[in-house]
Amino acid sequence: MAKTKPDPAGPRHVAIIMDGNGRWAQARGRPRLFGHHAGARRVREIVEACPDLGVEYLTIFAFSTENWKRTQTEVAGLMTLFRRYIMKEMQAFVRENVRVRFIGDRPRLDAKLHGLMDEAEAMTAHCTGMNLTIALNYGGRDEVSRATQRLARDVAAGKLRPEDVDEETLPRYLDTCVVPDPDLVIRTSGEARISNFLLWQSAYAEYEFIDTLWPDFTREIFADVLKQYGARDRRFGAVSA
């Protein structure tokens, strides 16, 4: 199959708030978890599309630090889904040369899931293709708080001077320390909010809020959103040339 040449103007790092699984299921008269399963299946298609579209980094929001507020049934179902997902996809990621990383508060997750996450990272540590970051039990405020704790510990230990804390130093303590900032953040399902996602990192990201529910988000829609990004003028506070 002929590969389309990646558009050099395309985003290098795309982050997606995969929203709308519950409404998708509800519209079909099915339980919310049915929507989460359909949503998980979509991830494969989008990951596979990235290399052809020139996307080097993909970050997906799978579970937020606020999502614990949902019913026990939904939370437990999601945790089972995440475990199964990692077990099922791990080999495929290795085969496709996808480097997997997780961001979020890992110790709060159950030991089995936590272990699978560590394993997936270790198994793909040598992969040099696409970089997939999965935000699981992730919250931007929680991440900045945890980073600040670690930073404060280094200051207390004399490893860092308070006057050396700046915009370069702080992000080294974030979960995303080895990943570049997102160029484009996409949210599906029509909600125009960021829901605590990548607060520090998306300071200069472009945003696309689209009405499609996540389980209906196809490769074609993804390509279309990326095309629109190419028409944007990112000024970063300066004046365009």
Binding site for ligand IPE (CB under 6 A): 17-23, 61-64, 67, 78, 189, 191, 193, 195
Region from 13-21, 49-57, 142-150, 228-236 binding Mg ion, contact rule CB under 5 A? 13-21
CB of 24 to ligand IPE, least distance (A): 7
Among positions 15, 19, 186, 225, the unique one binding Mg ion when judged by CB under 5 A: 19
Q: Which two tokens stand for residue 10?
A: 């395309």
Question: Which one of the listed residues 67, 105, 154, 216 is annotated catalytic?
Answer: 67
For residue 168, give every residue at least 6 positions away whose Cβ sits within 8 Å of its Cβ, in sequence order, or none. none
Of 19, 142, 175, 183, the catalytic one is: 19
Other residues' Cβ atoms within 10 Å of the Cβ of residue 161: 10
Least distance to Mg ion, CB of residue 110, Å: 23
**Residue 198 interaction partner, one of Mg ion, ligand IPE, none, beta carbon < 5-8 Å per kind:** none
Active site residue 21: no
176/159 Cα distance (integer angstroms): 21
What SS3 string covers 135-175? EEEECHHHHHHHHHHHHHHHHHCCCCCHHHCCCCCHHHHCC
Q: For residues 64 and 212, which CB has a smaller minimum distance to ligand IPE in the complex?
A: 64
Residue 117 binding partner per list Mg ion, ligand IPE, none, with a CB distance cut-off of 5 to 8 Å that depends on partner kind? none
17 binds, among ligand IPE, Mg ion, none (CB under 5 to 8 A by kind): ligand IPE
Min. distance of Cβ 19 from Mg ion in angstroms?
Answer: 4
- Per partner kind, with CB cut-offs from 5 to 8 A, the member of Mg ion, ligand IPE, none near residue 63 is ligand IPE
The CB-of-74 to ligand IPE minimum distance in angstroms stands at: 8
| Closest to 63 (Cα-Cα) out of 123, 122, 117, 144 | 117
Q: What is the DSSP string of 56-89?
A: -EEEEEEEETTGGGS-HHHHHHHHHHHHHHHHHH
Using alpha carbons only, how large is the chain's radius of gyration in Å?
A: 18
Distance CA 100, CA 94 (A): 9
Q: Which is nearer to ligand IPE, 110 or 191 (CB)?
A: 191
Kindly tell me which of 34 and 61 has the beta carbon lying closer to ligand IPE.
Answer: 61
Whole-angstrom Cα distance, residue 160 to residue 105?
24
- Told to judge if 67 belongs to the known catalytic residues of this protein, a careful annotator would answer yes
CB 159, min distance to ligand IPE, A: 34
Residue 40 vs 151, nearer CB to ligand IPE? 40
In degrees and rounded to multiples of 5, residue 59 shows phi and psi of -120, 130
Q: Which of residues 103-142 bind Mg ion (CB under 5 A)?
A: none
**In a 3-state reduction of DSSP, which class is residue 4?**
coil
Tallying the residues shown for the chain, one arrives at 241
Q: Which residues bind Mg ion (CB under 5 A)?
A: 19
Q: Which residues are catalytic?
A: 19, 67
